[in-house]
Structure 1
Amino acid sequence: MTKQEFRKRIENGPLILDGATGTMLQKAGMPIGVCPEEWILENKEVMVKLQQDYVAAGSDIVYAPTFTANRIKLEEYGLEDNIVKMNEELVALSKEAVGDKALVAGDITMTGLQLYPIGDFMFDELVEVYKEQASILAKAGVDLFVVETMMSLQECRAAVLAIQEVCDLPIMVSLTYNEDGRTLYGTDPATATVVLQSLGIDAIGINCSTGPEEMITPVVKMTEYATIPVFAKPNAGLPELEDGVTVYKTTPEEFAAVGKKLVEAGAAILGGCCGTTPEHIRALKEAVTGMPVKEPLKVPRRVLASERKLVEIKLDGNFMVIGERINPTGKKKLQAELKEGSLNMVRSMAVEQEENGAAILDINMGMNGIDEKEMMKKVIYEVTSTVDCPLCIDSSHVDIIEEALRIYPGRALINSISLEKEKFEKLLPIAKRYGAMFILLPLSDEGLPKDSAEKHEIIRTILAEAIRIGMSKEDIIVDGLVATIGADPEAARACFETFSYCKNELELPTVCGLSNISFGLPERIYVNTAFLTMSVANGLTMAIANPSQELLMNAAFASDLLLHKEESDIRYIERMNFLSEKYAGMERQMVPTQKTAKKAESAGDTTTSVEHSSVFEAVLKGNKSIILDEVKKCLDAGEKPGEIINQHLIPAINEVGVLFDKQKYFLPQLISSANTMKQAIEYLEPMLAGDDSGKEMPTLVIATVEGDIHDIGKNLVVLMLKNYGYRVIDLGKDVPADLIVDTAIKEGAALIGLSALMTTTMMRMKDVVELAKEKGCTSKIIVGGAAITPSFADEIGADGYSKDAADCVKLVEKLLA
């Protein structure tokens, strides 16, 4: 099926997907702990009957049962060598079941491995894993692909790129979100929509997670940005425990009633996840048949995105700054650090620029003495783990820009694409391939345009080619090409003309490098600031500048205020409040001269805190490269190992937990800080034996329950608890109840921690609780995981529930106090 045919099928009303597979197979007798795909192939009639029932109920698309049939998952059962045969047979099974009455989607999901820099698995390795399965499924004859139940936006990107590299079939992608409206990695539905549709997928959605009512808000958020159909595949409510069995109490009629609301909210494709049955799908089909489908946006919004944040660029919006600092040109100290392989200054520059108001960060690694491509990749990994700003990829080499775009877990900006043959012919298709926006630089192989007319002609030429290859003008920001006023007295006025022309005639946003205008002049900051305010008045949208230059930034905020831009008054006041807090109790020079600006530049490439130690700051920022040096300084100053742990490390990780609770930090930052602390703890541990401040801590046994092979959350819990000094025995994943209880008794564990991601495995927690009572195990038992709720913990007799790793530490402390 072509992408056009897929879109056309939705025009006559909502498409209906199938319902639950896992919970239905368990009802039919599939035991916990087996490979689902292998069990299906051993019990083919069960799967055929189920999918026939879904088609009879009204499903237009059924998912082939290839959910975890990738090499990584099959290795856990020793079945990786059967990957081709299993996927082929599973697709054939679905095609036999539906005949010509429905489409068959090749079903792909997460591998369970953590990508670098959180884990050790590299992005292109993951792409290859997905390519292997996608290639088999495409050859087996699937009509389209669905990438579902995803928690990581970067893993979604890997799956999408893999599918696109083996075929042209339509791709649907759905993520699963926590109660806070974000994935485990901090991505919200709008951000996922922007990033994935820019890659060229054909429908974006949400599945599992919650019941149908709770999906209305995320669907609305997706439709605000979606240029493609939106879909929802909810559970039949949240699971509840009844007579020792997990049940879903949302009836088919209730499910269908909310299905209508989902269509009204903008969902063009609907189905069911855990707990739904053919009866739910039948009721849903009857309820929404004939309902008009909301059309996606015809004109895309100009949006860049990191993994955790959107930045929208509006023609009449507030002025924005692209932070220019992460560029070694003219920065000897940064060059020296990069040559040594250190990214301390890069990290500090990223944080400082974000704190000072940069909306986007430019990343340029062009210098001698390093491998620019490898350093660009390292810096992207480091910066995306440190701050939330989207990135602008800046290099004179096409291959470096392409490699950076491939691994970037968001929607980036390219700096830049000109009419020079190399960039024009190669970079435009790359921008399209990876869904990037780009800065249009009005240069050609002939060099600088001789006048405004030639400059505008180049702009129109590049714009026309971008549209021809399938991009839109909303993907483009035009560089005003600032010349030096000392050499060309008309330089500023020529830029004003370009800014105005792009905004008013072409409806394109503009950008420029401010400092070029004042090159060779004394006290350049005044020329730059005057140029900025006049440019903003003439339509300039953003500038590449140093956000630490307060005169420039304050002038930009004031310019927006005077032009009566949206919420500019509030933004100006907040800016002044920010500066007041920043300089509280300090003498501050409001208008720096060139001399003082240079002095500050040479002295301050990093920000320091007067309130916390360097050890505290290293953990807070997840700075693994300096933590041991800072710990050694504390030891040299006479501090005892136990004091360092209790007075620096523990307070720091507590603060990380607070930021995590406030949604200022997300999983990547939490893991980075925890790993930084782990390095310090491991270094200090051998010294604790002779340290009076050290004390023996309780033993804890942690495991993911039998049948569940997901361990991201469990691993983080283990890491955090070890950092707090507990003796933690990690039994791993898919652990039988008797092994958990026997280990707790043998080791004298004060507490057992149980994790489960899937609703189909959560009942194994009850098995552990009951077995512990039966064997007289006195360990406290706590539970957690995506499917678990406080009420479930109470129902099975657990001693406590934690929503995440940071919360788990507090719970353990409370229970063992």
Structure 2
Amino acid sequence: MGTVLQSKGVKLGELPESYNYTRPEVIEEIHREYLEAGADFITTNTFGANRYKLNKTPYTVEGMIEKAVEIAKEARKGYKNRYIALDIGSSGKVLEPIGDTSFEEIYDIFKEQVVAGAKAGCDVILFETFTDLYELKAGVLAAKENCDLPIFCTMSFEENGRTFFGTSVESMILTLEALGVAAVGVNCSLGPKELKPIVQQIVEKASIPILVQPNAGLPVIKDGQVHYNVSPKEFARYMKEFAEMGVSLLGGCCGTDYAYIRETIEATCNEPYSEPTYKEVTGVCSHGKAVYFDDVRIIGERLNPTGKKLLQQALRNDDMDYILKEAIGQEKQGAHLLDVNMGLPDIDEVAMLKKAVTEIQSMVKLPLQIDSSNVQALEEATRIYNGKPIINSVNGKKESLEAILPIAKKYGACILGLTLDERGIPESAEERLEVARRIVTAAREIGIPKKDILIDCLVVTASAQQDLVLETLRAVRLVKEELGVKTVLGVSNVSFGLPNRPIINKTMLAMALMQGLDAPIMNPGDTGMLETISAYRVLTGKDKDSKAYITQNTQMNELAILPNGANPEVEKLDLKQAIIVGLKEEAKKATTSKLKERKALEIVEEEIVPALNQVGTLYEEQTIFLPQLIKSAEAAKKAFEVLQQAMTKEESSIHAQKPKVALATVYGDIHDIGKNIVKVIMENYHFEVYDLGKDVPSEKVIEAVKKHDIRIVGLSALMTTTVGSMKETIAALKVACPEVKVIVGGAVLTPDLAEFVEADYYAKDAMESVRIAEKLC
């Protein structure tokens, strides 16, 4: 729609959706061109029709969407079996905790669009060009809860197989399939050739129809203009390959028009529609990390206050840093998932569990198991979880099944079932199997697939119920063999009340693994239990050629995030470590402590700068991703705030000389999320940033540079049509302010385009912008 509108005369800076009112005949003509080309779906001219983007216009969201659907309906007259998709793009906001917009606020934005589209009579809700899975989840929930239309979702991936916010292909699929969308896939960012590896991943993992909408290749310069480098016929050849791979729905994004669709239809008209292959694989995920239960998976138990006085005190003091350190520590020790339980009788468990889940998922990559006996706490935490979690737990009681299973179904969570009912924990393995069967049956009846059900056969204490320990192990075997679901055990419960508990624990673990245990809930810092799992994986052939065992027993973990591969106790993080893992309060405390021994500037030069350099390296190596980068930058900012108060006048004078940077999205371009993220990172790396906004004419950039004596300017563009604006702005800058250096970036930019617009530097992301600016200073 955007590409064709540009060819029809939309001017730089003009709101594309305004044509629904000012030139509806043009929009109708575009729809008819696609329908005549043979398209099955036409998408409404509503990509940016949300409250944020329409707030300074005379248009309302409801009115704009109603008008767009009305035009599409008029265009569709005379065509059979053609459908109207309500096109919804990203809001442009960054969600909490790394941004300033709440999950529920974004939900309301999308709800407004969905309700208007459903009321107007569209056939499908299409969420496209999303890079933040969290924002997309809010949109899907808004659609599910406010209409009954099918939901299509596509995200935009980089060549590294992740989105701008670090979402992986696996996490997208696990989350969206579980939420019940009708089709999932990829659009924008790349051409069909570059998308091929990502499409292959989606085909291998998805169990629902796959939608692929590539760009018309990559932007290149031809005859002094920016064009996409793939012709309609070449595009169609790639689309035929996608159809043969198993893609169900085909379309085009930036640079394509109705000619690309016509050629695609001609190339694929003899290809059968691809029915997706159902994958019976149990998996959970955070936004950026998927964990499949195809091997032993460790569920970290340390975030449960039962028997843990320090954690109890932290919860009462609202000490989130302690909780985050425990989470980070368990991740480093080798946990695959984290159980999160915030249940204490004297705190607001609902609020605390929701807060803990929000904060933890912004700090660690691991998926979470949300653990509570409070139904409201479970629902609210699961709702705002970024990915696909496990809900811990449901049991065989009727009221439990009726309360918990619908939550798991609605929010697309796996469910952990406990083999207890009104009688308590049954003594025999056969009785526990029957409770498990009741849970599995009830879950299946409301639409939760078997692969999303896990069963805990419940470990009893050997000191009090020794005769029942073997019954627990037998129950694990029976559940595996007869129900075919994954199994979980809180292994260390067996040793309660006995001396030298680790010996009992690791022996119980070995016995349980041989009965078919998939996921022990345990302390990942228990080396004896870790050694047992490592040895078990060798002896059962899961660790091919004993590679993991050899690595674990001959060298440190090279992927450790903290300096020098260290794995210190989480309570002992120094300033560098606090910044690297992104703990703001810990960084503040460590800075205050160091000021007793050292000067402020020494701390900056010897602690903070090296820590930020390492964070930048980890980001560039893709060991960490954007949310962790922002958290680390915020921790460094906290440290700077402490130092500022302690500096001498001389030091303050040096410290106050922050390098100045102006940032702007160029004239004609209204997309600013990338520019906003660069701003956050640069400010926390101690630059003074003048944010000139979006759709900024060159005169405004020059005025700001002169007024504030700025030497570095960052310019962003997302659309090929605004690359010309970028070139003009840089040319004007070079004449008016020849000493200024210009860094350019944005989704559409490449090194060749940066050279074309005569920029001094090209930055592929926010961190590279900082690196370049630091060198210039």
Which range, TM-score by smaller chain? over 0.9
Q: How does 1:652-671 map to 2 (within 5 A)?
A: 652-671=611-630
Query: 1:120 — aligned with what?
Result: 100
Deviation of 1:688 after TM superposition, in Å, equals 6.5
Query: 1:758 — aligned with what?
Result: 719
Check the 8 A contact 1:173/1:203 in 2, yes or no.
Answer: yes
Letter in 1 for 2:596: D
Cα deviations by residue, 1:571-616 (Å, 9 ceiling, x for unpaired): 2223224568899xxxxxxxxxxxxxxxx9xxx962536xxxx222
2:763 and 2:649 map into 1 onto residues whose CA distance is: 32
Q: How does 1:238-249 map to 2 (within 5 A)?
A: 238-249=218-229
> Quick check: 1:737 aligned with 2:698?
yes
Query: 2:709 — aligned with what?
Result: 748
2:505 and 2:539 map into 1 onto residues whose CA distance is: 19
Task: Return closer, same or farther for 1:607/1:635 CA change in 2, 3 Å cut-off.
Answer: closer
Check the 8 A contact 1:769/1:781 in 2, yes or no.
Answer: yes
2:658 and 2:141 map into 1 onto residues whose CA distance is: 47
Deviation of 1:205 after TM superposition, in Å, equals 1.0
1:607 and 1:661 map into 2 onto residues whose CA distance is: 28
Check the 8 A contact 1:352/1:607 in 2, yes or no.
Answer: no
1:435 and 1:781 map into 2 onto residues whose CA distance is: 46
Q: How does 1:445-456 map to 2 (within 5 A)?
A: 445-456=422-433
2:587 and 2:698 map into 1 onto residues whose CA distance is: 39
2:270 and 2:398 map into 1 onto residues whose CA distance is: 52
Question: What SS is found at the alignment partner of 1:762?
Answer: helix
Deviation of 1:160 after TM superposition, in Å, equals 0.4
Task: Return closer, same or farther for 1:26/1:40 CA change in 2, 3 Å cut-off.
Answer: farther
Task: Return closer, same or farther for 1:124/1:689 CA change in 2, 3 Å cut-off.
Answer: same
Cα deviations by residue, 1:764-812 (Å, 9 ceiling, x for unpaired): 2112112223435431111011111111000111111001121112222
Check the 8 A contact 1:398/1:423 in 2, yes or no.
Answer: no
Q: How does 1:575-724 map to 2 (within 5 A)?
A: 575-577=552-554, 606=570, 608=572, 614-639=574-599, 641-685=600-644, 687=647, 689-691=649-651, 694=655, 696-724=657-685
Check the 8 A contact 2:159/2:195 in 1, yes or no.
Answer: no
1:513 and 1:118 map into 2 onto residues whose CA distance is: 33
Task: Return closer, same or farther for 1:483/1:698 CA change in 2, 3 Å cut-off.
Answer: closer
Query: 1:487 — aligned with what?
Result: 464
Question: After TM superposition, which residue ranges in structure 1, 4 or more long, deviate above 4 angstroms?
Answer: 578-583, 692-695
> Quick check: 1:196 aligned with 2:176?
yes
Question: What SS is found at the alignment partner of 2:489?
Answer: strand
Query: 2:67 — aligned with what?
Result: 89
Deviation of 1:502 after TM superposition, in Å, equals 1.9
Letter in 2 for 1:761: T
Query: 2:31 — aligned with what?
Result: 51
Check the 8 A contact 1:714/1:755 in 2, yes or no.
Answer: yes
2:668 and 2:443 map into 1 onto residues whose CA distance is: 50
Check the 8 A contact 1:348/1:607 in 2, yes or no.
Answer: yes
Check the 8 A contact 2:683/2:689 in 1, yes or no.
Answer: yes
Query: 1:7 — aligned with what?
Result: none
1:282 and 1:546 map into 2 onto residues whose CA distance is: 58
Deviation of 1:681 after TM superposition, in Å, equals 2.7
Query: 2:47 — aligned with what?
Result: 67
Check the 8 A contact 2:46/2:86 in 1, yes or no.
Answer: yes
Check the 8 A contact 1:215/1:232 in 2, yes or no.
Answer: no
Q: How does 1:536-575 map to 2 (within 5 A)?
A: 536-567=513-544, 569-575=546-552
Task: Return closer, same or farther for 1:581/1:736 CA change in 2, 3 Å cut-off.
Answer: closer
Letter in 2 for 1:706: Y
Letter in 2 for 1:646: E
Cα deviations by residue, 1:292-335 (Å, 9 ceiling, x for unpaired): 23332224311100000010012xx3x22100001112111221
Deviation of 1:238 after TM superposition, in Å, equals 1.0
Deviation of 1:44 after TM superposition, in Å, equals 1.0
- Cα RMSD after superposing both structures: 2.0
Question: What SS is found at the alignment partner of 1:324?
Answer: strand
Cα deviations by residue, 1:678-705 (Å, 9 ceiling, x for unpaired): 2333443463642176484543221122
1:321 and 1:757 map into 2 onto residues whose CA distance is: 42
Between 751-760 and 221-230, the greater mean CA deviation after superposition:
751-760
* Gap runs ≥5 in structure 2: 561-566
Deviation of 1:233 after TM superposition, in Å, equals 0.5
Q: How does 1:386-401 map to 2 (within 5 A)?
A: 386-401=363-378
1:200 and 1:177 map into 2 onto residues whose CA distance is: 21
Deviation of 1:564 after TM superposition, in Å, equals 2.0
Query: 1:130 — aligned with what?
Result: 110
Query: How high is the TM-score relative to the length of structure 2?
Result: 0.95
Deviation of 1:550 after TM superposition, in Å, equals 0.4
Question: What SS is found at the alignment partner of 1:411?
Answer: coil
Deviation of 1:568 after TM superposition, in Å, equals 7.2
Q: How does 1:65-214 map to 2 (within 5 A)?
A: 65-75=45-55, 77-79=56-58, 82-99=60-77, 100-101=79-80, 102-214=82-194
Task: Return closer, same or farther for 1:87/1:467 CA change in 2, 3 Å cut-off.
Answer: same
Question: What SS is found at the alignment partner of 2:585?
Answer: coil
Check the 8 A contact 1:219/1:266 in 2, yes or no.
Answer: no
Between 468-477 and 711-720, the greater mean CA deviation after superposition:
711-720
Between 132-141 and 243-252, the greater mean CA deviation after superposition:
243-252
Query: 1:813 — aligned with what?
Result: 774
Task: Return closer, same or farther for 1:646/1:476 CA change in 2, 3 Å cut-off.
Answer: same
Check the 8 A contact 1:642/1:688 in 2, yes or no.
Answer: no
* Gap runs ≥5 in structure 1: 1-20, 584-599
Letter in 1 for 2:669: D
Question: What SS is found at the alignment partner of 2:105?
Answer: helix
Cα deviations by residue, 1:386-430 (Å, 9 ceiling, x for unpaired): 111100010001111111110000100111110123321111111
Query: How high is the TM-score relative to the length of structure 1?
Result: 0.91
Query: 2:404 — aligned with what?
Result: 427
Q: How does 1:368-447 map to 2 (within 5 A)?
A: 368-447=345-424
Which of 465, 481, 485 is the equivalent residue of 1:508?
Answer: 485
Query: 2:8 — aligned with what?
Result: 28
Check the 8 A contact 1:744/1:777 in 2, yes or no.
Answer: no
Task: Return closer, same or farther for 1:470/1:188 CA change in 2, 3 Å cut-off.
Answer: same
Question: What SS is found at the alignment partner of 1:224?
Answer: helix
> Quick check: 1:791 aligned with 2:752?
yes
Question: What SS is found at the alignment partner of 2:418?
Answer: strand
Task: Return closer, same or farther for 1:250/1:342 CA change in 2, 3 Å cut-off.
Answer: same
1:245 and 1:97 map into 2 onto residues whose CA distance is: 33
1:373 and 1:98 map into 2 onto residues whose CA distance is: 49
Task: Return closer, same or farther for 1:694/1:266 CA change in 2, 3 Å cut-off.
Answer: same
2:542 and 2:487 map into 1 onto residues whose CA distance is: 17
Question: What SS is found at the alignment partner of 1:481?
Answer: coil
Task: Return closer, same or farther for 1:737/1:39 CA change in 2, 3 Å cut-off.
Answer: farther
Task: Return closer, same or farther for 1:724/1:136 CA change in 2, 3 Å cut-off.
Answer: closer
Question: What SS is found at the alignment partner of 1:443?
Answer: coil
Check the 8 A contact 1:643/1:693 in 2, yes or no.
Answer: no
1:778 and 1:363 map into 2 onto residues whose CA distance is: 54
Deviation of 1:287 after TM superposition, in Å, equals 0.1
> Across the two proteins, how many residue pairs are aligned to each other?
767
Deviation of 1:718 after TM superposition, in Å, equals 2.6
Letter in 2 for 1:618: A
Check the 8 A contact 2:401/2:442 in 1, yes or no.
Answer: no
1:62 and 1:565 map into 2 onto residues whose CA distance is: 48
2:505 and 2:737 map into 1 onto residues whose CA distance is: 76
Query: 1:519 — aligned with what?
Result: 496
